[in-house]
Chain A
Amino acid sequence: QSVLTQSPSASGTPGQRVTISCSGGSSNIGSNTVNWYQHLPGTAPKLLIYTNNQRPSGVPDRFSGSKSGTSASLAISGLQSEDEADYYCGAWDDSLNGVFGGGTKLTVL
């Protein structure tokens, strides 16, 4: 059971907008920043969004993040086949130190 809660799966068709949510508590998302990671099979995970809504250099602006209270969301617009991957949210927890969500498997139909 992960400290941060994500839906196990999400899907969309090419060109659609998809949202992945991440729910936590006051000791993690509520008091610290949220980061998102994309994990393609056979590769190392990649930082996609940091500090709630910032994109590292090289990440397309199709990816965006937001946070409100103890929840956060990752939105992917203009969905592409290469976006098919596992997505994880992560945050610092004041009691547990680092915590991740259980991951959301995104399927592009």
Chain B
Amino acid sequence: EVQLVQSGAEVKKPGESLKISCKGSEYSFSNYWIAWVRQMPGKGLEWMGIIYPGDSDTRYSPSFQGQVTISADNSINTAYLQWSSLKASDTAMYYCVRSNSLQLRLDYWGQGTLVTVSS
């Protein structure tokens, strides 16, 4: 069965860096897009960006361009979302999701990684 397994919850201080991961299994990782979706506490889903591991083609939502970096390592079937300097407003649940195209058919979701940023 297709699975996306995300790294565990993180508690960080403002200004710290962070890289969370999403490991895919039971499918051809390089041939499907991986998207990242944010859900802030009590809020809706927000599109952050998407990467095609096969050629590292990456697209960012204008709201997140320059704020995060999305990457992938095909050799270990893993996608990443990273911050160089966290803010309290980055506190949220982050989901990685598989998509077979750029039409937002987000068919398999990771379990989510809760990131808490607090001084």
State which of A35, A45, A96, A101 has its C-beta within 8 Å of the C-beta of B105: A35
Provide the residues of chain A in CB contact with B104, threshold 8 Å.
32-33, 35, 90-92, 98
Bitwise interface map of B from 96 to 113 toward A, beta carbon under 8 Å scored 1, else 0: 000000111111011110
In the complex, whether A100 has a CB less than 8 A from a CB of chain B is yes
Provide the residues of chain A in CB contact with B112, threshold 8 Å.
44
If over half of A's interface residues share one DSSP class (helix, strand or loop), that class is named, otherwise mixed; here it is: strand
Given A2-B44, A44-B112, A103-B44, decide whether A98 and B35 contact each other with a Cβ distance below 8 A.
Answer: yes
Q: Is the CB of A97 within 8 A of B59?
A: yes
Of B11-19, B24-32, B46-54, B77-85, the stretch lying at the interface with chain A is: B46-54
Cα–Cα distance between A97 and B36 once the two chains are bound (Å): 12
Provide the residues of chain A in CB contact with B47, threshold 8 Å.
90, 97-100
Q: Is the CB of B50 within 8 A of A45?
A: no
In the complex, whether B66 has a CB less than 8 A from a CB of chain A is no
State which of B45, B59, B107, B110 has its C-beta within 8 Å of the C-beta of A103: B45
The number of residue pairs between A and B whose CB atoms lie closer than 8 Å in the complex comes to 68
Bitwise interface map of A from 79 to 108 toward B, beta carbon under 8 Å scored 1, else 0: 000000010101110001111111100000
Counting chain B residues whose Cβ lies within 8 A of the other chain, the interface size class is 20 to 34
Q: Is the CB of A33 within 8 A of B103?
A: yes
How far does the Cβ of B119 sit from chain A's closest Cβ, in whole Å?
Answer: 27
Q: Quick one: closest B residue to A3, CB to CB? A: B47
Q: Is the CB of B95 within 8 A of A45?
A: yes
How far does the Cβ of A38 sit from chain B's closest Cβ, in whole Å?
Answer: 11
Cα–Cα distance between A56 and B108 once the two chains are bound (Å): 11
Residues of A within 8 A of B (CB): 2, 32-33, 35, 37, 39, 44-47, 50-51, 56, 86, 88, 90-92, 96-103
- Given contacts A32-B103, A51-B105, A102-B44, could you give 4 more A-B pairs where the C-beta distance is less than 8 Å? A44-B110, A47-B106, A97-B60, A103-B44
